[in-house]
Structures are given as structure tokens and as C-alpha cells.
Amino acid sequence: MLQFLTKRLIGLLFVILGVTFLTFIMGYFAPGDPIVQLLGQHFSPAEYLQLKRAYGLDLPWYQQYYNFLKHLVQFDFGYSYQYKNRAVWDILKDGVPISAELGLWALLIQVLVGVPLGILSALKANSWFDTTNMGVTLAIYAVPVFVLGILVQVAIVWLDQHVGFGWPAANWGTPWTYTWSDIQFKLFPILVYAATGVAYFARLARTSMLEALRQDYVRTARAKGMTERVVVYRHTFRNILLPIITYLGYTISFLVAGAFFIELIFNIPGIADITLLSIQNLDYPVIQATTILLAVVVVLGNLLADILYTVVDPRIKVA
């Protein structure tokens, strides 16, 4: 177990190093001179050199990368190009809790709604419930998240106008507080955000459940006269946990990509929103920080899936 973990951690370190290098080199070769952008129209050459030195941009690339890594280890992302004298972390700190809240709720709903839906579908295979469930989830899974988001927004606005629904179609309440108005703000973005994952887990749980129900041990359990409830929840459920956990790490990557669209459509000031804004402003330190942050989230998600995997199935320890 320990050996496996260390091996995984080393691999993880390697991947994160690769990500930092890619993001660094992208910023390094990026067109445009951030110093000129900072100084505006009128500046003297001396001012230019001074500022360039202050940001450490006069060094050769490998030294810049080394400094970049050194600061990164200390969780110091440097200073923004766009907003002078503002640390990158200062810009990010409002967005991180919002995105984390959005993501965690979505992750929770994905599993807690998707998996039971899939199991129910498998238990009633080929019934009308199963057919409609699988049809709807397939459509939701295939349709891009921004189309889904906009369609929901259209529906909310229509309900507001014609039925007097009175719900907000955009914006976000106070992070991590749940008064009625906060819930009104948060409910639909979270549901849309989770929808793709719900569909995915429903389909995954159905397939795995059907396969598990065909196994010999299920027949044996039934032959012994066990109730259907015990067969399903004691025997098969544990076995379908394995693929679900594997894909839990995988869906985090989907969630991170989806955040860009959800936060744009519903006007949520999260970390993806900040990334998009800093891409418009070519504010590389912020872009680099958010990219690395998001990549670390994905990589940690995969690691968590690996660890949970060994917990659920002890045989995998040796791998």
C-alpha cells in the first residue's frame, strides 16, 4: 500500500511539474510585452528596465522558471500584471470558495442522484422507467453543458415572466451560506453543472449493475433464499462501487471544464470566471496560477480515486 502510494505520488509530482512547465512556457512565449502593457503609453527606458527587473522578466527562461517554481512551492503566485501591486492570490481568494462550493455540490449530486437512478434502472431493466431514464440521460450526457445551461436559463426566464416564478436567472449568493435567497441563486447552476455527471453515473451504474446481477454469486444468493433487498444492497452494490469510484476522478476533469461555461452563463464570480477575464487582459501570472490550481485539483481527484480504489478492493494493493 505504502509502496503503491509513493509510486503514485512520484508520478503525480512529475505530472504537476509538467503542467507547471507547460503553463510557464506558454506565458513565456506569449505574444505582447506585459511591461509595456503595464506602463501604458508614455514611459522612459529606465522605467521600463526597472519594472522588468522588478517582475524578474530580464532573466533567461530557465532562471525565470526556477524562480516561478520556487515561489510556487511557497504558494506565492506573484503579482498581477493587470492590477499593479495586487498579489495574484488576492485576486483569486474570492473566487476559490465559490468554485469549490459549486464543484463539491455538483460532485455530491452526481453520485447521490446518478447512482440510485442507474441502479433503479437496472433493477427494472427494459421497463418504461428504464427506457425513458436511459433516453433522457443519454440526451443530457451528449448535449454540451453550455447548451443545457442556456436552455435552463431560458426556462427560468419564461417561468418568471409567465408564471411569476420569481427566481433569479443569474448571479451567486454568499458563498457557503444557505438562506432562501441563496438557495434560489444556487440551485439551478448547481443542478445544470451536475446534470452531465448525473447522466454519466446513471448510465455507468446501470451497466455495472446489470453485469453484477448476471454473476454466479447473485444466483447463489438468490438460491439461498435471500431477499432481493439483501442481494442488491449487500452483494451487488459493493461490486459496482469500483467503476463508480474510478470515474469519480475522471468527472472532476469534466467539472473543471464545465465551470468555464456555468460561471459565464450564470454570471458566477468563481475561479473560471477570473481565468477568462485574465485571459482577456493577458494577465499571465493569474492565468498560470488558475491553470496550475485547476490541474492540481484534477490530479488530486485522480489520486483520491486511486486510494479509494484500494480501500474498496484490497486486491489492488500490490499494483
Partner 1 sequence: MDIQDQSSESASPGVMLPDTTLAPVLLTPDAVPYAIEGDRTYKKPSSPLQDSLRRLRRDKRAMVSIGVIVSFIVLALIGPPIYQHIGGPYHSNLNGVVGPSQYHSFSYQELGQNTQDQLPSAHNWLGTDEIGRDILARLMQGLLISLAVAVVVEVVDIVLGVLIGVLAGYYGGWIDQLLARFTDLMFAFPGLLFVILIAGIFGNWADTNLSKIPLVGPNGNARLLLVSVALAFTTWPLMARYVRGQTLQLKEQQFIEAARSSGTSSWGIITHHIIPNLFSLVIVVATLDISNTIIGEAGISFLGLGVQAPGSSIGLMIFAGSHFVDTHPWEVLVPCCALAAIVLAFSFLGDGLRDAFDPKSKD
Instruction: Report the interface residues with partner 1, using CB under 8 A.
Output: 11, 14-16, 18-19, 22-23, 26-27, 30-32, 138-139, 142-144, 146-147, 150-151, 153-154, 157-158, 161, 169, 207, 210, 252-254, 256-258, 260-261, 264-265, 275-276, 279-280, 282, 284, 287, 291, 294-295, 297-299, 302
Question: Which residue lies nearer to partner 1 by CB, 120 or 277?
Answer: 277
CA distance 71 to 198: 39
State residue 226 phi and psi, 5-degree precision. -70, 150
Q: Which is nearer to partner 1, 139 or 230 (CB)?
A: 139
SS3 content of the chain, % helix, strand, coil (to 5): 80, 0, 20
Count of CB atoms within 10 A of residue 194's CB? Answer: 27
CB neighbour class for 149 (10 Å; exposed up to 12, middle 13-18, buried from 19) = buried
For cell 453485469, the residue is 211
In angstroms, give the least distance from the CB of 7 to partner 1. Answer: 13
Where do we find the cell 481568494?
93
In the complex, the smallest distance separating the C-beta of residue 296 from partner 1, rounded to whole angstroms, is: 9
**Residue 11 Cβ vs partner 1, minimum distance, rounded to whole Å:** 7
| Min dist. Cβ of residue 71 to partner 1 (A) | 20
3-class DSSP assignment, residue 79: strand
Nearer to partner 1, 31 or 166 (CB): 31
What is the rounded distance in angstroms from the CA atom of residue 42 to the CA atom of residue 45? 10
Q: How far is the CB of 146 from partner 1 (least distance, A)?
A: 5
What is the DSSP code (8-state) at residue 87? B
Q: Which is nearer to partner 1, 170 or 307 (CB)?
A: 170
Q: Which is nearer to partner 1, 74 or 280 (CB)?
A: 280
